[in-house]
Amino acid sequence: MKKRVALQRGVTFLVVPFGLYWWKFLLARPMGAPWEGILVSLGLVLVLVGFCTRIVARGYKESGSLSGGRLVTGDLYAYVRNPMYMGTFLIGLGAALAVFHPVAVVIFIVGYAAIYVPQILREERILTGHFGQEYRDYCQRTPRLIPGPLSWWGFF
């Protein structure tokens, strides 16, 4: 499990931003409309919020789980079941917006879904097996990935 986490961390924090930088360099075009600058700024804010979300969620999980012996349902985990994956999504989406190319956004979303949807479903099966009804109850009251009113939308 640690090897997979290290690989995903490497892809997320090294390869993706580097690749997006080169994508922007190769497809450089001048920013014309003011809203393009707004999207780039929004992208950078999303990257920052994503990093902060991952840091807070990881710290709370480490201190609250008792090495996997207790289901973590407080702090950010009270709003979404997977705040670290949500943070990763925000980082990637923000980077894709900062590149300001629609193809980058589509590639990121498809890549994210291909990597993280199966991972989330696999982890949910493991947690259901480990925590049983407690985890099923938690799933009923807590959205998977997107907090608040948007959580009604299918998988999320």
Token digits of residue 45: 């804010």
DSSP code, position 69: T
Q: What is the structure's pLDDT at 83?
A: 94
- d(CA 115, CA 109) in angstroms, rounded, equals 10
Query: pLDDT 10s digit of each residue in the chain, 156 long?
Result: 455 555 555 555 555 556 555 555 555 555 566 777 788 788 888 999 998 899 888 887 776 666 667 888 888 898 999 999 999 999 999 988 887 777 888 899 999 999 999 999 999 999 999 999 999 999 999 999 888 765 555 444
Say which residues have a Cβ less than 8 Å from residue 146's Cβ, sequence separation at least 6.
80, 86, 153, 156
Q: What is the structure's pLDDT at 36?
A: 75
Q: What is the structure's pLDDT at 152?
A: 52
Q: What is the structure's pLDDT at 44?
A: 86
Q: What is the structure's pLDDT at 60?
A: 78
- d(CA 9, CA 111) in angstroms, rounded, equals 14
Nearest CA among 90, 140, 86, 143 for reference residue 116:
86
How many CB atoms lie under 10 A from the CB of residue 57?
21
Q: What is the structure's pLDDT at 67?
A: 67
